[in-house]
Chains A and B, each alone.
Chain A
């Protein structure tokens, strides 16, 4: 999985942070422009995929260890469900964000940002995990 190409290595080094930045933009600007948690998670994972394809699986595992990915994948769903439980504890229905803050609009904003973050974390972690699991089957040559 390792490529000894100088151009690829340099371009990857420059491109990965930009891809991650774009993923964060898609994540937190999803309220105003196309995009949201799912798309942001996938874009984030492509940055790690690119890194792993050029620098090898071991280098990518140093950036994000697999245990962290497994925890993150579950944490995203927990975060999403947690918002629902919190809104129930505050006296609303499950996943009714209006009760999360003083005004319904502010509550909706908080709720949407937090659940989109949960979606993004889970999707990114699962996509990277899928790639790592698949590429571990490849014979080192």
Chain B
């Protein structure tokens, strides 16, 4: 059953990725990216990771699609992707080398569900056997994120705040520059 689900989700993921590459219209591209995230969220559910699926569905499908659409709405021209006819060999080689290195790197990752791999043998075993007794939280993901790895989560929240400050510094001017410039033409609004 889960093999079938995985197969269907992965095939759709591939179709979506190719569609994003092939489509010329940027609005369609943004929507396809949202669908791609939704499929990834489905894959996370199949992998028994509902917390991650939750995040992926809310951030990948919801917020980032809306932000992309708003960005597109603020651009007047250029909603069509420019396609260059000439093929460049350099980027292709870099992609192939990087992809090859990543596939090579997966050989060092422990097999899915392997009991005697270091991550499952040491900390995870402690979290699973002692987690509820030590923190009193039934959801182990919350226990690890909030209590055992509280310092990491503090760093993550700081990253979110820093990203927000960065966007505000870049785009958050008080004066609406281009609105004022067009103001003379649309004064009667």
A123 x B71 contact (CB < 8 A): no
Asked, given contacts A80-B157, A115-B150, whether A139 binds B67 with beta carbons under 8 Å apart, the answer is no
Asked, given contacts A95-B154, A129-B164, whether A112 binds B135 with beta carbons under 8 Å apart, the answer is yes
Stretch at the interface among B5-13, B19-27, B29-37, B176-184: B176-184
Task: Let me know if A25 is at the binding interface, CB within 8 A.
Answer: no
Tell me the residues in window 28-58 of chain A with beta carbons closer than 8 Å to chain B beta carbons: 30-36, 38-39, 42-43, 45-46, 49, 53
Q: How would residues 154 to 189 of chain B score, 1 for a CB under 8 Å from any chain A CB and 0 otherwise?
A: 101110110110011001100010110010001001
Task: Let me know if B76 is at the binding interface, CB within 8 A.
Answer: yes
Asked, given contacts A118-B157, A122-B157, A129-B164, whether A108 binds B137 with beta carbons under 8 Å apart, the answer is yes
Q: How far is the CA of A46 from the CA of B158 in the complex (A)?
A: 21
Q: Tell me how far the C-beta of A75 lies from the nearest C-beta in chain B, rounded to whole angstroms.
A: 10
Q: Tell me how far the C-beta of B7 lies from the nearest C-beta in chain A, rounded to whole angstroms.
A: 25
Task: Let me know if B115 is at the binding interface, CB within 8 A.
Answer: no
Q: How would residues 97 to 141 of chain A score, 1 for a CB under 8 Å from any chain B CB and 0 otherwise?
A: 100000011001101100110110011011101110111111110
Q: Tell me how far the C-beta of A67 lies from the nearest C-beta in chain B, rounded to whole angstroms.
A: 12
A135 x B70 contact (CB < 8 A): yes
Q: Tell me how far the C-beta of A57 lies from the nearest C-beta in chain B, rounded to whole angstroms.
A: 10
Q: How far is the CA of A84 from the CA of B153 in the complex (A)?
A: 12
Total contacting residues, chain A, CB less than 8 A: 54
Number of A-B contacts (CB under 8 A): 147
Q: How far is the CA of A43 from the CA of B153 in the complex (A)?
A: 19
B158 x A140 contact (CB < 8 A): no
Q: How far is the CA of A105 from the CA of B133 in the complex (A)?
A: 8
**In the complex, what residues of B have CB within 8 A of residue A30's CB?**
139, 142
Chain A interfacial positions (CB closer than 8 Å to B): 1, 26, 30-36, 38-39, 42-43, 45-46, 49, 53, 70, 73-74, 76-77, 80-81, 84, 94-95, 97, 104-105, 108-109, 111-112, 115-116, 118-119, 122-123, 125-127, 129-131, 133-140
